[in-house]
Structure formats: C-alpha cells, structure tokens
Structure 1
C-alpha cells in the first residue's frame, strides 16, 4: 500500500513525505508499473512529439514573416530586403512546398517508430532509486539529491547528450555534403539557393538530405539517449525553434537564442555566402566542432561590424523614405 501511494505521487515535483523511509529500508520496494499519463488528455505524448515541432516551425516562421512583411525590425536585418529578393534562387512557394514535404516524411517515419515503441510506463523509478541508494551512492548524497537528480537531473543530462549527438551528426554529414562535389550538386546545393536565409527556408532541403540530416539525426539522438515521449517533445520543439532562428535573417537584441548560443543567425548567415561556404558547418546549437576542426570563419567580428554598417545605412534610407511617404500622404489629405 505504501509503495502504491508513493508511485501515485511520482508526478509531484518534491519527494513524497515517506520517500526517505522507503530509501532506508532493507527490503526492496514493491512497485506497480502503469502507463504514463499523457501531457494533454486528448492526444498521446508520442503524437504530440511529432506535431509540436511542426506547429513550432510554422508559428515561429510566420512571426518572422510578419516582421519582414510589415518592416517591423529593419534596423536589425542582416541583409537589406532587396538583397534577399535579388540573390535568392528559390521562391517562397517553392520553399514552403519543400518544407511541407519534409514534414510529411518526418511525420510518417515518426508514426512508424511510435508504433514500434513499447508503452510509456512509470512506477519503476522507486526501485531504481532504492537500488542506487543501496548499492552505488555514497552516504553524503542525500535522499533529496537522489530524488531531484534522478527525476530531473537525469532527464536534463540525457537531453544534453542528445543535443551533442545532433550537433555531431549534423556537423559531419553537413561538412561531407560540401566536401563531396557529387553530393553537394545532387543534394545540398538546393539549400544554398537561399543566399540570404529567411525563417521559412530553415528546412528547405532536398528530401533525401532532409531525411538524413534532420529526421534521422534527431531520431538517432532520441533513441540513443532513450528519451521518453515527453522529453522528445521538448527536444524536437527546441531544436526546431533554434533552426528557424538560425535562418531568420535578423540580429535581434532580445532574441535569447542569439544571446545564449554562439551558433546564431549571423554565424550561419556566413555559411550561406559564397565566400563563407567552406566554413561554419556547425548546426544547430554549438560551434564546438568548427572550433576543433578549424572550420570556423575567422573574421566574424569584422563581418558583423560591416553588416551592421550596411544595415544601419539602409535603415536610415528606410526611415527617410517612410518620412517622405508620410509627408506625401499629409499633402494629399490637405488637398
């Protein structure tokens, strides 16, 4: 009965009141395995893990699209708007069509994986923590440290490992796509039709590359670290938002992704330029592999300063044009 009550309280943030008594017992706790409750009552966590990154992609991309259309952040553009229109070789409709197809592929693959997955269960945690306490942990590790470390720290650690796997997978496959001329021409050159990246184009890839780079890479990371469906919801959504942000085309001062990560929109923009295409292969989180492999662009500060100067010059022109337009509208109203 005691073990049953403890299992029922596993979802609580703090350890239950009788947790220390269970951990101090010489008898292994009786556990009751049951299926985990879904995060949302009307949809399984597995399906949510497939849908949440898609919703995040189109929602976050649409925010940047509206910023673009209504010219809400011209001061922070990496490239002037006319440069985007002149240099890019793929239309918005082509980009949207390809991304929709990639989302269809990753959803179908995900449905197969979910079908093969065993049921998501809970209740075993008590036994695992008891065995850790009994056979492996030193006495100075308190019961509270054990609880929070296993219930939350273990999740954070595995997600961090998964992020490292994704970064490694994408760096080496991405770099190989550039080194091998056949692979570049056949697959990766499609993504580089966007010389001036924008949010909707974050997953604008050849379908084969999209599957290998994004769908398979993230899936391998999730399976290798044995993430639960709830944990996968976070990882997939976070990785998607970060990828969109890297292609947004803006250096926004309040953007946490760009503040916290050195691998940001400006860093990845360099890779999309003809003179920077052989550098900055890292994506989507950190720049560790570029640093270790000496493939990071060495003049990023100079580029940032130059682009800021160009952007501010264009921004002044934008403000002047807007001022003249408003002046013309006032004259018309007076007439």
Structure 2
C-alpha cells in the first residue's frame, strides 16, 4: 500500500516553492505527492500528455480542496490542492483511494477518468460532512459506533482490520456501520428509559449483498460524572489503535463523520452504559426493506420494540465467532 502521508511528512526544502516526489509504485503514470514549502499545504499532481481530454473541473471542486489544471509545455498537470490543513487526514485517505484505483489502469486517459470518478465519490462524502458541529443525536450515534470499534480493537481476531471495517461514512447508501467481509453490523445507541431501536431508512437493515447482518444496541442513561462522552471515547479509541498510520486513518474517518477537535468543548455530555444487546437480522426479523415498499415510497424511518426481538437475540461474542 502506498503511504502518501509519509511521503508528504518526509519532504525537505529544496529551494523550490512546490516540493514534489514521484510515486514510483505506479511507474507507468507520472503521479506526484507535493508540498507547498511556503504554506505547508499538501498537493497531489498527475502529469499527462497534452492530447488527453480533461473535462471542465468546475463541478468537481468542494470544501477544503481546490482542483485545477495547468498546461506546461507538452503536458497537462492535474492538481488536487489541500486548502485547509485541518483536513489533511481526510485528504490523505482521499488521495490514497485515487492511487489504489489508478494503479491497475493502463492508459493516461483511463487514469484521468478513474481519478475523476473517485473525486466525484469523495465530493459527495465531503458535502455530507457537518462542519458546524454535531447534534446531540449525531454525537450519540458516533459514541455507539466507537464503542463497537473498541470492542473489535480489543479482540485479537479483529483488531488488525478494525478501523478499516468501520464503513459507515465511506460509501453512499449501501454501507453498514461496520463491514467485515460478507458480514455487516449496524450499531444503535439509546439513552431512552424505554430502550427501542430507531431505524432511519429502509436500507439500514437490508442484508442484500451480505451473508449475515447483525444489529448491536447500546442502552445507556445520561449521567453527570464518571460516564462515557464523545471526547473520552475518541481518546480511548486512539489509545487502542496500535499504529500511527491506522490512527491517521481513524482521524480521517472521524472528520468524515463531522468530528473536529475545535468543537470538542461541546462533546462532553456523559452516558453510563446499562446494557448491550445483539441481534441476528434474519429474513424473519421485523424490519422494512426496499423490496417491501410500494413504488414511490422511500426514506422510511420507524422504531422497533426490544420486546419483539427476543427470538433474534444473540451474545455479542457470537458476532466475532462468525467473522
């Protein structure tokens, strides 16, 4: 795997404003990790022949990233320029995705098309990021996902791939909160006195394309002291991650969820964990999925009573055993 972040970190002043390092792992393409020596901002550059058609890039721009081309002699250079250094972890993940996808391409034209497809996907992700702080419900949802992420990190069987399995912010509608091979896990968090499962749309409990789907519910109560806050679970997770590369990956995913350190003073509300539930979402599980809905109905939200799910309850450990 190409570690573009380490290339950026190892850049030393050369006398040039833009310091660039060719990415040798993709020898058939002219790709560069670059740094603006004056501002410290990172770039990704791809240089192609002038006869390669690159579409108008106006619709590819998004918050924190500028995308443009420059004509240099017989070449065109495509620039992806990070404007906001606070987003460097997301940007690393973004460029890593481009490099992985263009590595098997053959021609420059194919590489440009593939690059712009990845850019379009990431624009959708960037557009979903809440840069104005997380609501209380969003905080609760993120705490729940991080509780389960720590559960995976603390098990030898799943620790290595735990961060990469956290997929809730990565794809569009089909992603589950966690995806481990052909197994999906949805995570819910409630502080209600009468625990129930709130499902936000018909896709969440749809097991299509998965061999198995599980649902985890953390039942909690709000407390003033000695509880779990979003800030505390973020720090706990960082400590549980064993490598700096994975920690950077984790930080990028936090930002994709809208968690930024500058807002941390608002994320200290605490909860005490009362009980954890786990359920196997089989075909008999009470749920609403796409193929059950009349034509024209979508984004269906609903709630499920815990008492209706006794026959589907399993031990949390059984999820790990099935992986």
TM-score normalised over the length of structure 1: 0.21
User: Larger RCO: Structure 1 or Structure 2 (Cα < 8 Å, ≥ 6 residues apart)?
Assistant: 1
Higher helix fraction (1 or 2): 1
TM-score normalised over the length of structure 2: 0.22
Higher strand fraction (1 or 2): 2
